[in-house]
Amino acid sequence: MKVSLIQSNLVWENELKNLSNLESLINTKISNTDIIILPEMFTSGFTMEPNNVFSTMKSDVITWMKKIVYQKDCALAGSLVIKEDNHYYNRLIFVSNLGEVSFYDKRHLFRMAHEHQKYTPGNRHLLTEYHGWNIMWQICYDLRFPVWSRNVQNYDLLIYVANWPEKRIEAWDILLKARAIENQSYVIGVNRVGFDGNNIPYNGHSVVISPKGEVLAQLPDDKEGVINYRLNLEKRTEFSRKFPVSLDRDNFSIDF
């Protein structure tokens, strides 16, 4: 399966400019892919003013995502601010190549930015089956909580979309590798670049990591761009068969 990671600058709380920039990157840098992955809050940046930027599940942004899917004959995913039943969610939207929509609401809200005061947390995983792959989706701060990503669903690929700042980028690099190693899964991290409306810098480090924790592809620091990479499901399956760490894991349940 060929994956395309878009590492873009995001214009603060400006949906039209962000969609235009993303569409330009898609049209000039991506062809013949299976799935395109956008950063967290790709229409706005990581804003704590959801009322300024929210979309709905029937909004023009969803229509735009379906248009890209139709034009490129692939799937598309990324998170944005969604309002539903008078609640705001940091919601990852996955649109399949058939135009089918599913979603994941960020479970772990970043309290240091008061995200937990502005948004409602999710309480369920999103596991999508696509082109024979089982894909688990998570968002940014979720990366710090290994219990939430624990591979009890037998997924093959774990994907994080993020606005992860430069000053904590070493944690991003280390934790992505840890999630790959402990879950024997490919891991993808898609982060942004540039400065947000609070003058916080982001330097990217979007990456593809093997189930052994090896960096397979990564974009340069501070550069907009696209990673196009072909994943091999047989290699992941063979590695977990020969080195079946999961057979020795401890059993426990999660309480919400």
How do residues 169-214 score in pLDDT, each as one tens digit? 999 999 999 999 999 999 999 999 999 999 999 999 999 999 999 9
140 labelled catalytic: yes
Specify if 118 maps to a domain: yes
- The C-alpha atoms of residue 224 and residue 245 are separated, in whole angstroms, by 37
Mean pLDDT to the nearest integer, 12-34: 97
Question: What CATH number is attached to the domain comprising 191?
Answer: 3.60.110.10
Hunting for tokens 């592809």 — which residue is that?
A: 217
Tell me how far apart the terminal alpha carbons of the chain are, to the nearest angstrom. 34
Specify if 253 maps to a domain: no
Catalytic residue among 40, 74, 115, 166: 40
74 labelled catalytic: no
pLDDT over threshold 70, residue 23? yes
Mean pLDDT to the nearest integer, 133-140: 98
pLDDT over threshold 70, residue 256? no
Per-residue pLDDT, 127: 98
Specify if 254 maps to a domain: no
Specify if 70 maps to a domain: yes
Q: pLDDT averaged over the chain?
A: 97
How do residues 77-105 score in pLDDT, each as one tens digit? 999 999 999 999 999 999 999 999 999 99
How would residue 67 be classed by pLDDT, with cut points 50, 70 and 90? very high
- The C-alpha atoms of residue 136 and residue 187 are separated, in whole angstroms, by 10
Specify if 78 maps to a domain: yes
Specify if 32 maps to a domain: yes
Strand partners, 105: 91
Domain count, the chain: 1
Per-residue pLDDT, 255: 72
Specify if 23 maps to a domain: yes
How do residues 201-254 score in pLDDT, each as one tens digit? 999 999 999 999 999 999 999 999 999 999 999 999 999 999 999 999 898 877
Half-sphere exposure of 65 (CA within 13 A, CB side): 31
Per-residue pLDDT, 252: 81
pTM score of the predicted model: 0.97
40 labelled catalytic: yes
Catalytic residue among 72, 74, 140, 177: 140
Catalytic residue among 106, 115, 166, 177: 106
* CA distance readout (Å), 184 to 2, 113, 142, 215, 240: 19, 32, 18, 14, 6
How would residue 115 be classed by pLDDT, with cut points 50, 70 and 90? very high
Sign of dihedral through CA atoms 236, 238, 241, 245?
Answer: negative
pLDDT over threshold 90, residue 135? yes
DSSP 132: T
Helix (H, G, I), strand (E, B) or coil at 52: helix
Hunting for tokens 């024979």 — which residue is that?
A: 132
**Which residues form the domain of 196?**
2-248
Specify if 33 maps to a domain: yes
